[in-house]
């Protein structure tokens, strides 16, 4: 009984989620596996929609962006490399690029070029030794450990796509404070990752 409880808890940890996403994505890449793709869609689709709504999309736009992003996930599944990060981070960048193209009406080419450089780069940095799922768990813990004011700014920047100037207006704080909080948050996150390396 005790054992059963423990197993259930373990299954719910983010690292296990990450492993499931990873094997689903591999199944899409190798066999164009529809069931595996459906599982990814069911998990990430509603989250991408939430991200787009936060960024100011209306419902129809948000739904379209989910279609665009998940279609790109299907197409690019073979480009994902586990050593370069988690599936969630990979899908976040795909959704982010779709958001830049469609919501900001700006070219996401410089962003995509960097993603592509990652794919073609064979250099294995020390970062690769950390298994992606472990790294995800660390980032999750580090995010939880951030003071509320820093976490809020990080969320606004990543999910709500708020420019720094707008964040400053919304929270009624100087632009310099937004920058320094973002910097502090990133340094803390990075410290956590490095300590565990």
Partner 1 sequence: MKRAHHLDDATLTRFAAGDLDEAFAVVVASHIDMCEDCRARLRAAREVGGQLLEDTPQSALSDGALDRLLAKIDAGMAASDTAPAPIRTAVGDVPLPLSRYIGANLSDVPWRTIAPGIRKKVIPLKSTDSSLYMLQIGEGKEMPEHGHGGNEITLVLSGAYRDAMGVFGPGDVADLDEDVEHQPKVEPGAPCICLVATEHPTRFKGLIARLFQPIAGI
Nearest alpha-carbon partner for 132 in 195, 88, 190, 191: 88
* Binding of residue 70 to partner 1 (CB under 8 A): yes
Identify the residue among 1, 3, 5, 126 touching partner 1 (CB under 8 A). Answer: 126
In this structure, what DSSP letter does residue 56 have? T
- Rounded to whole angstroms, the Cα distance separating 88 from 125 reads 20
Identify the residue among 13, 111, 173, 177 touching partner 1 (CB under 8 A). Answer: 111
**Between 79 and 98, how does the x/- string for binding to partner 1 read (CB under 8 A)?**
x----xxxxxxxxxx-xxx-
Contact 33, 139 (CB under 8 A): no
Looking only at residues 168 through 187 of this chain, which bind partner 1 when binding is defined by CB under 8 A? Answer: 179-180, 182-183, 185-187
Interface with partner 1: number of residues (CB under 8 A): 91
Identify the residue among 36, 41, 65, 168 touching partner 1 (CB under 8 A). Answer: 41
Identify the residue among 19, 56, 127, 173 touching partner 1 (CB under 8 A). Answer: 127
Pick 104 or 169: Cβ nearer partner 1? 104
* Residue 164: CA count within 13 A, CB half-sphere: 10
- Rounded to whole angstroms, the Cα distance separating 43 from 14 reads 13
Looking only at residues 7 through 26 of this chain, which bind partner 1 when binding is defined by CB under 8 A? Answer: 14, 17
Identify the residue among 22, 24, 36, 77 touching partner 1 (CB under 8 A). Answer: 77
Nearest alpha-carbon partner for 40 in 58, 59, 27, 57: 27
- Rounded to whole angstroms, the Cα distance separating 197 from 189 reads 13
């Amino acid at each position: 009984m005790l054992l059963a409880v423990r197993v259930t808890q373990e299954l719910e940890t983010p690292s296990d989620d990450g492993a499931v996403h990873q094997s689903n994505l591999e199944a899409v890449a190798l066999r164009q596996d529809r069931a595996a793709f459906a599982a990814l869609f069911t998990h990430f689709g509603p989250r991408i929609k939430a991200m787009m709504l936060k960024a100011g999309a209306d419902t129809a736009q948000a739904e379209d962006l989910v279609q665009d992003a998940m279609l790109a996930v299907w197409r690019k599944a073979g480009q994902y490399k586990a050593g370069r990060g988690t599936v969630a981070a990979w899908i976040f960048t795909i959704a982010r690029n779709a958001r830049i193209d469609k919501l900001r009406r700006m070219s996401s080419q410089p962003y995509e070029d960097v993603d592509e450089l990652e794919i073609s780069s064979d250099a294995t940095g020390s970062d690769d030794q950390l298994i992606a799922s472990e790294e995800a768990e660390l980032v999750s813990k580090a995010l939880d450990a951030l003071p509320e004011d820093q976490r809020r700014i990080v969320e606004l920047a990543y999910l709500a796509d708020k420019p720094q100037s707008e964040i400053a207006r919304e929270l009624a704080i100087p632009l310099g404070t937004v920058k320094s909080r973002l910097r502090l948050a990133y340094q803390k996150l990075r410290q956590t990752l490095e300590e565990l390396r």
